[in-house]
């Protein structure tokens, strides 16, 4: 039934192919110096620090702006590459050293780095940019806080090309946190010229007008349609990219994205459904890369603001009622890592993510509902993000069928992708919902920081546990070889297993299809394309 529904959906959506492919063909996917990419969702802002900036916009921060440092890259051996979270490499900074008894980093900036307007990149620009990141509030400030950076007082200009970051205490996350998309280096002179008394950080200007010095500049942005990059030929912070021009076309229909890349009308299709990726790989005509996303989970969230889910036995009942294997087969097509069937409520290792100790057991689920005081079940909607319908719809349908067997009536509440972030993450108003989060820094305590701490953006469950909060505070800055690190992480996972405000189903993959001769794809933690490494024959 699910597969039939999907076939009908794909057939209907494919009717859009002709008009969309004509639009894309205007950009000449066949040119060797131009790369044409299709993706399901487009950017909504040029400014990663702005409230409401969506995930696709992270690509702007990566490709149009520089950071002090970046992560290394390692081969996956399957036509693609993956970021290496264990290696920190230079970007704008040429070198850095730990000083003041491990409480500060001093960075030396490239002497020849310039912004797009030709002005030199200075330590003053770095300070203004970092001050902005910690001062605007919201997601960027919380991300900087993960690395122990919360106040402009922690950022110091030593001289024009020397910059200092002072930590409140030594932390393993400070340096890697400077490699994520948030701490971009903005041309502060341009920004300040367009600031106002009401808008001292120039958020309105930078929302539509990037002011950076990254490898690519903005040629054109048509919101909801396309983003066109042009190469900054004077970029000095890495190897000059091979592609002079990159067009990122927004094509919401996954069926159309697949058809366009199959026909050769585009060079790269990002984020294909697992079914399409598997079939394209089997056909053997395209380069298809499927790789797991580090520190990421597809999961079921239960909002503790709603009465039934305040009872841990109800949450455990849901965990035992999920049809894991059926979901994995229908929604993931067997791609990814299974996150159910763990051996014990006590984790044996500090590895994350790892399978939770739940499997499908309807009799146990029914018994737990009786113990919780819900012998006849209850009604609750399952909310899903239509922006990720390729996995959320089949998952919700199978959940609905299975929950009915234990007396829970669950209608499916379909929310447009454009509204999901507000409803699920900002307002946190969805009862039972399908969720996804991938932690940028590849540590289990970092995942818990974002997902299990009350008030943090990705805690859509409104979960609150004082022991978890205390353990996260203690463990986040702690080196992984510290004596208490592994016991603390295991305790965090044990609480997650037992209290189960979120039930992981599987660790997802990122699926990308490329034309023969297109190379250089890197699976980055932010799940957006770093276009700087692509080449095309």
Task: Dump pLDDT digits (tens) for 333-363.
Answer: 999 999 999 999 999 999 999 999 999 999 9
3 state DSSP class of 326: helix
The CATH code of domain 296-507 reads 3.10.105.10
Query: Pairing mode, if any, of strands 337-338 and 93-99?
Result: unpaired
Is the pTM higher than 0.95? The answer reads: no
What is the residue extent of each domain of the chain? 1-42+221-291+510-537, 66-213, 296-507
Residue 356: name the closest of 495, 522, 167, 156 by CA.
495
The answer to whether the beta carbons of residues 368 and 309 sit under 8 Å apart is no
- According to the model, what pLDDT value does residue 29 have? 58
Positions of the chain with pLDDT under 70: 1-30, 78-79
Is 1-42+221-291+510-537 a CATH 3.40.190.10 domain? yes
Q: Which CATH number among 3.40.50.300, 1.10.390.10, 3.40.50.2000, 3.90.76.10 corresponds to the domain 66-213?
A: 3.90.76.10
Residue 241: name the closest of 50, 522, 525, 524 by CA.
522
Task: Dump pLDDT digits (tens) for 378-431.
Answer: 999 999 998 888 899 999 999 999 999 999 999 999 999 878 989 999 999 999
- According to the model, what pLDDT value does residue 27 have? 46
Edge-first strand listing for the sheet containing 93-99: 93-99, 104-109, 162-166, 155-159
- According to the model, what pLDDT value does residue 76 have? 80
- According to the model, what pLDDT value does residue 41 have? 85
- According to the model, what pLDDT value does residue 75 have? 86
- According to the model, what pLDDT value does residue 417 have? 82
- Tell me what percent of the chain is helix, strand and coil, each rounded to the nearest 5: 35, 20, 40
d(CA 537, CA 519): 9
- Write down the H helix ranges in 107-187: 123-135, 138-146, 174-177
Per DSSP, 462 falls in state -
């Amino acid at each position: 039934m699910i597969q039939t529904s999907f076939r009908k959906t794909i057939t209907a959506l494919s009717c859009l192919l002709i008009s969309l492919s004509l639009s894309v063909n205007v950009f000449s996917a066949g040119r060797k110096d131009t790369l044409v990419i299709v993706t399901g969702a487009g950017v909504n802002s040029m400014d990663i620090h702005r409230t409401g900036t969506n995930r696709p916009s992270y690509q702007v921060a990566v490709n149009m702006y520089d950071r002090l440092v970046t992560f290394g890259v390692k081969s996956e051996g399957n036509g693609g590459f993956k970021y290496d979270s264990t290696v920190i490499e230079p970007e704008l900074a040429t070198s850095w050293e730990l000083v003041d008894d491990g409480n500060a980093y001093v960075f030396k900036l490239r002497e020849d780095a310039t912004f797009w307007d030709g002005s030199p990149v200075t330590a003053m620009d770095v300070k203004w940019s970092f001050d902005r990141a910690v001062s605007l509030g919201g997601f960027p400030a919380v991300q900087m806080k993960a690395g122990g950076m919360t106040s402009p007082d922690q950022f110091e200009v030593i001289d024009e090309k020397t910059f200092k970051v002072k930590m409140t205490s030594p932390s393993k996350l400070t340096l890697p946190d400077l490699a994520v998309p948030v701490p971009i280096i903005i041309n502060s002179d341009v920004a300040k010229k367009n600031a106002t008394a009401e808008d001292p950080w120039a958020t309105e200007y930078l929302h539509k007008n990037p002011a950076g010095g990254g490898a690519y500049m903005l040629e054109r942005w048509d919101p909801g349609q396309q983003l066109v990059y042009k190469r900054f030929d004077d970029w000095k912070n890495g190897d000059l990219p091979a592609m002079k021009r990159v067009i990122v076309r927004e094509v919401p229909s996954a069926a159309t994205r697949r058809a366009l890349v199959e026909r050769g009308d585009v060079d790269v299709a990002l984020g294909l459904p697992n079914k399409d990726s598997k079939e394209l790989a089997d056909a053997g005509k395209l380069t298809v890369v499927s790789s797991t996303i580090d520190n990421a989970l597809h999961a079921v969230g239960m909002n503790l603001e709603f009465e039934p889910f305040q009872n841990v036995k109800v949450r455990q009942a849901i965990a035992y009622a999920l049809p894991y294997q059926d979901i994995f087969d229908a929604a993931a097509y067997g791609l990814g890592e299974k996150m159910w069937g763990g051996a014990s409520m006590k984790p044996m290792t500090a590895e994350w993510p790892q399978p939770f100790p739940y499997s499908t057991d309807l009799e146990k689920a029914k018994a737990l509902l009786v113990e919780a005081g819900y012998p006849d079940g209850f009604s609750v909607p399952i909310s899903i993000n239509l922006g990720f319908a390729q996995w959320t719809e089949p998952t919700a349908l199978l959940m609905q069928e299975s929950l009915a067997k234990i007396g829970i009536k669950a209608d499916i509440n379909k929310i447009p992708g454009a509204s999901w972030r507000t409803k699920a993450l900002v307002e946190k108003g969805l009862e039972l919902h399908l969720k996804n989060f991938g932690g940028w820094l590849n540590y289990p305590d970092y995942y818990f920081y974002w997902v299990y701490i009350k008030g943090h953006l990705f805690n859509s469950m409104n979960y609150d546990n004082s022991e978890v909060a205390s353990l996260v505070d203690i463990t986040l800055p702690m080196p992984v070889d510290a004596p208490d690190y592994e016991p603390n992480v295991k305790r965090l996972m044990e609480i997650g297993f037992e209290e189960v405000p979120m039930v992981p189903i599987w660790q997802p993959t990122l699926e990308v299809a490329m034309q023969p001769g297109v190379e250089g794809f890197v699976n980055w933690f932010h799940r957006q394309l770093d276009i700087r490494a692509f080449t095309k024959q």
